[in-house]
Structure 1
Amino acid sequence: MRISDLSRQTSVPVATIKFYLRERLLPPGRRTGRNQAEYSGEHLRRLTLIRAFTTIGHLDLSSVRTLLAAIEDRDLPLPALYEVVNRVLFAEEPTTTSRPERTDQARTDVDGFIDRIGWHVEPEAPGKEELALILSTLQQLGCDCGVDFFLPYADAAERLAVQELDLLPPDGVGDRAAAVVRTVLLEAALAAIRRMARDHHVTLRYSRSEQPPPEAEPTAATRIPRPRNGRAEALRVGHRHPAGLPGPSGPR
């Protein structure tokens, strides 16, 4: 296909495609003339991937370049590939205005929290530092919450992580680009769904001024039936494999 066909099928302007070609985010097409080239389905998929990272994932081109290089590095094992994704998603160093002693206590609390739920997390994992800074900032702002406030978040996150990884083949060898783009897009999906859930419950609680707020609104988990034969199972925080790591119970 010509560059105009590529543009039409992806809704990406020709000028933007040429920019991606100059930046080598998109490989060159096969030369068919002095100023002409032919592009394939691989170019179509690569362009769709780039746009997903930039428009939905809100990643800059430097981050996109890092992800594309990691996807193409076949010597990079899957755990290391996910480490690259995490570094990209945590690209900005989190900062806080909390007092150092408060932040230090929050780090200790987060370490204990992760130990209690049985997760294997590297000591320098960026998520640990971010969670500690979030906790210390919430407390400084007067939010009366300890680290256990995050237990429901951890429960939901664990189930979602298992569901996402269940899409990979058992040997972990598969479409690396699909695995990476799922991680980026599902991060955005989770934020979108959480906002809609909050909007729903704000409406239930505060849009009926003549009625008192309900004591216990039904949750999505009780309204939506779970698939009986789905691979991803509902996990409870603290449930462990025999090896000690949290994971789905029962045979696969």
Structure 2
Amino acid sequence: MTDWLVYRGTGEPHRGIETLPPPPPWRDFDGGPPLPDWRPDLESASFRRLGSYGHVVDVARSREELELINAALFLRRPLLVTGEPGIGKSTLAHSIAHELQLGRVLRWPVHSRSTLRDGLYQYDAIGRLHDAQLPGSDAQLPGSDSHDIGRYLRLGPLGTALLPTVLPRVLLIDELDKGDMDLPNDLLNALEEGEFALPELERLTDRDEVEVRTDDGTAVPVRGGRVRCRAFPVVVMTSNDQRDFPAALLRR
């Protein structure tokens, strides 16, 4: 029977994600208030990967693969896809985003120097310091309370995926095995907690809410210097099977 499958691998867009049952209590997140619908960009990269609009060419998936993918959706758990380079591992993220109409895939390409911070957010401290020294600038030195600090903060793909959206974002963490040895454990903790802090905002005393840019380039409010998800993102991690991952990551 396929009645319980939300993602069917047919390539035909549908709203099945809206019928997904509530998460298990231990995977239920309460971030908020929820952000407005962010799904206008349904074509872009996914159609370059899968085919032109209306003629999507999807990868045929076995019954076992479909059940594993849907189990991850139901349990709000990440998927780890391993295999040789060039076999289309990352296509799964685009296929899910297209079929379930979840908008643009947030892609985090991992390399040897990648850290968890790279995926969460970037802070341009040098740019802020430079602007503070310009004649007539109202920017203040880093470390002080300032209304304009959000101009120098940008959420990364992982950080954007953890925003409090009503429906999940799709996050592709590409070639995780290329990263630092500590990255899988650091990533596991972030995915377990479903939240992260921005110390640059936590230390502010004059503002509870700061507007920052997302990986999509849109402006969103961050309250209290923390981001906490509402709908856990659909996370697809790929690996070229070049090294083993911690047992804790594989269990989850």
TM-score range, shorter chain: under 0.3
If the length of structure 2 is used for normalisation, what is the TM-score? 0.21
- Structure with larger Rg: 1
Structure of greater relative contact order (alpha carbons < 8 Å, 6+ residues apart): 2
- Name the structure where strand makes up a greater proportion of residues: 2
If the length of structure 1 is used for normalisation, what is the TM-score? 0.21
- Name the structure where helix makes up a greater proportion of residues: 1
